[in-house]
């Protein structure tokens, strides 16, 4: 089904009648009353303002914001970014509509798309090769804007701020950098002017001043003092200066402040914002990189799995230390136990082989709850000096000082029993593996990174 917006009656869509059911509306409000959800919208007419207003209303609508939209006539450049292009031939249009419909089926959790992040993900999901482009506009305080983001957020948020959040959450990823600009630290405007000022009194009234150096007597003074009826004559020794390099040279080219007579080589640069009229130093300016963006892998995962969260956050209460520190301490323990045979320690690894797949089986929240419960139990098993780290999302390592072979076996038994609870909860679907080694069994030549790599290899 096609919804056709046009102020005049045209026979433009006649060739499409065989493939699509077509409804014609003159005004957006007419359609709003009926709320027919179409496969695509088509907007015709040379009135660019009319096209722009219809397009903006579609993209800001709660239900049809992600629908395909085509224009039959050329539109303004910024509106082009909201469109899916010019109206294609009927078979091509049909293909595009079908593709969107199949993608729509694989989209999960329609209820989440009321937030504007959800809207963006849905919009990008339905258009697999879509690139989110900024639009350059010199009148814009920041020179660039993202018309699509403005429309999808229903103008409620600053689109650059939103972009930053999306990028931090890795929902979208940058494609090409289009510009790097400096912006006012107060209002983020990019309309800046740079002025050289006197470093002493900040006056802008400064002038370049050439100085000459007379080789005969060493006199250095401003050039004007040397000028004498069309020739250069030293004001001190009255030598006629004829040739640069042999009679005189230019030792300094400096500036002179007309307000305070201060002489200087390089003026300070001051930045003035044209929007908020505040003054600042160039170093205070904020660097803004303007990119084009596309949906990232994580964004796509969100689209077909629904809301995402970081699975490993379930282990957060284990107070992990960094991998480097862990390796360092492990090395130290290995060296110590080699030197003093009565010192023992053990290394214990836990690997969750199918954690990402479990997301499919269980509700995210439930899986997270399970992992948190496990972490809590694990925590109660650990003693204060025990150290833990995580080398990947599903690989945990525990360093147990003063634990020999026997102690390690005891630890493994206890952890297995607590794991059983988790196993039952997960309906025996959780695939986890343990590996443990005590200091007596570690070969003398092994180092900490090698040991970890070897044990991890055995687990896989």
Partner 1 sequence: MESLNQAWSFFLIATSRFQDIEYVFMLIPFVLFFELPLYFVNWMSVFRYLFKKSVDAPVSFPYYPRVTCAITCYAEGKAVQSTVISLLEQIYPGHIEIIAMVDGVQKNLATYQALKELVPVVANYPKRSLVIIPKIQRGGRVSSLNAGLSRAQGEIFLALDGDTSFDNQMISSAAAHFRNPDIVAVTGPMRVRNARKAIITRLQSLEYMLIMQIGKLGFAKLNVINNVPGAFGIFRKSFIQKIGGWNTGTAEDLDLTLRIKQYHQRYPHLRIEFEPGAVSHTDAPESFKDFLKQRLRWDGDLWYIYSNKHKYGISASRMGWSNFIFLLWYGILFQIVMPFSIVIYTIYMAVKLPMLTFFLSMVLVYLFYLGLITLQYILYLVLVSDRKWEDCQAALILPVYPLFQFVSRVWSAFAILNQILNKGHLDSAMAPLWVLKKGKQ
Chain residues binding partner 1 by CB under 8 A are 208, 227, 230-232, 241-246, 253
Three-state SS for 11? coil
Please state at what angle helix 405-425 crosses helix 364-381, rounded to 10 degrees: 160
Q: What is the smallest separation between the CB atom of 149 and partner 1, expressed in angstroms?
A: 43
Q: What is the smallest separation between the CB atom of 246 and partner 1, expressed in angstroms?
A: 8
CB-nearer residue toward partner 1: 160 or 215:
215
Q: What is the smallest separation between the CB atom of 240 and partner 1, expressed in angstroms?
A: 9
Which residues lie closer than 8 Å to 245 by C-beta, 6 or more apart?
A: none
Three-state SS for 325? helix
Dig out the tokens for 367 from the structure. Answer: 């899986």
Q: What is the smallest separation between the CB atom of 253 and partner 1, expressed in angstroms?
A: 7
**Closest to 69 (Cα-Cα) out of 49, 41, 92:** 41
The radius of gyration computed from the CA coordinates of the chain, to the nearest angstrom, equals 35
CB-nearer residue toward partner 1: 239 or 312:
239
CB-nearer residue toward partner 1: 208 or 287:
208
CA distances from 444 to 89, 110, 346, 439, 457 (A): 74, 58, 15, 10, 19
Q: What is the smallest separation between the CB atom of 70 and partner 1, expressed in angstroms?
A: 52
CA-angle at 151, arms to 150 and 155, nearest 5°: 55
Q: What is the smallest separation between the CB atom of 323 and partner 1, expressed in angstroms?
A: 51
Dig out the tokens for 382 from the structure. Answer: 């650990």
Q: What is the smallest separation between the CB atom of 243 and partner 1, expressed in angstroms?
A: 5
- DSSP letters, 122-137, are HHHHHSTT--B--EE-
CB-nearer residue toward partner 1: 91 or 230:
230
State whether the Cα torsion 338-341-343-349 is positive or negative: positive
CB-nearer residue toward partner 1: 244 or 325:
244
CB-nearer residue toward partner 1: 242 or 338:
242
CB-nearer residue toward partner 1: 34 or 207:
207
Distance in angstroms (rounded) separating the CA atoms of residues 168 and 174: 11
């Amino acid at each position: 089904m096609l919804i056709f917006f046009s102020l005049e009656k045209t026979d433009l869509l006649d060739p499409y009648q065989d493939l699509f059911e077509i409804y014609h509306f003159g005004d957006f409000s007419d359609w709003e009353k009926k709320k027919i959800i179409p496969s695509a919208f088509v907007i015709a007419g040379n009135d660019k303002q009319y096209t722009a207003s219809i397009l903006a209303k579609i993209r800001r609508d709660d239900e049809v914001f992600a629908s395909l939209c085509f224009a039959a006539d050329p539109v303004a450049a910024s509106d082009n970014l909201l469109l899916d292009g010019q109206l294609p031939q009927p078979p091509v249009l049909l293909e595009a509509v079908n593709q969107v419909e199949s993608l729509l089926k694989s989209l999960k959790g329609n209820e989440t798309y009321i937030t504007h992040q959800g809207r963006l993900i849905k919009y990008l999901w339905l258009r697999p090769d879509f690139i989110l482009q900024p639009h350059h506009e010199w009148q814009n305080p920041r020179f660039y804007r993202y018309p699509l983001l403005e429309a999808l957020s229903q103008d409620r948020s600053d689109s650059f701020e939103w972009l930053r959040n999306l990028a931090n959450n890795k929902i979208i990823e940058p494609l090409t950098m289009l510009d790097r600009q400096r912006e006012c630290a107060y209002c983020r405007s990019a309309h800046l002017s740079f002025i050289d000022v006197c470093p002493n009194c900040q006056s802008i009234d400064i002038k370049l001043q050439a100085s000459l150096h007379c080789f005969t007597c060493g006199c250095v003074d401003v050039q004007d003092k040397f000028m004498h009826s069309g020739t250069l004559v030293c004001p001190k020794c009255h030598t006629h200066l004829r040739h640069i390099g042999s009679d005189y040279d230019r030792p300094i080219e400096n500036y002179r402040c007309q307000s305070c007579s201060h002489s200087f080589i390089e003026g300070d640069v001051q930045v003035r914002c044209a929007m908020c009229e505040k003054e600042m130093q160039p170093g205070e300016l904020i660097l803004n990189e303007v990119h084009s963006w596309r949906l990232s892998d994580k964004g796509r995962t969100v689209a077909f799995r629904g809301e995402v969260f970081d699975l490993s956050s379930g282990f957060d209460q284990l107070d992990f230390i960094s991998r480097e520190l862990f390796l360092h301490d492990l090395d130290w323990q290995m060296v110590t136990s080699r030197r003093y045979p009565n010192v023992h320690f053990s290394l214990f690894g836990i690997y969750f082989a199918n954690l990402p797949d479990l997301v499919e089986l269980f509700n995210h929240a439930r899986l997270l709850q399970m992992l948190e419960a496990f972490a809590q139990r694990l925590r109660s098993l650990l003693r204060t000096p025990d150290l833990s780290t995580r080398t990947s999302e599903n690989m945990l390592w525990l360093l147990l000082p003063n634990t020999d072979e026997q102690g390690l076996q005891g630890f493994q038994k206890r952890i297995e029993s607590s794991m059983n609870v988790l196993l039952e909860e997960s309906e025996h679907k959780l695939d986890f593996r343990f590996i443990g080694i005590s200091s007596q069994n570690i070969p003398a030549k092994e180092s900490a990174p090698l040991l970890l790599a070897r044990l991890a290899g055995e687990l896989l």
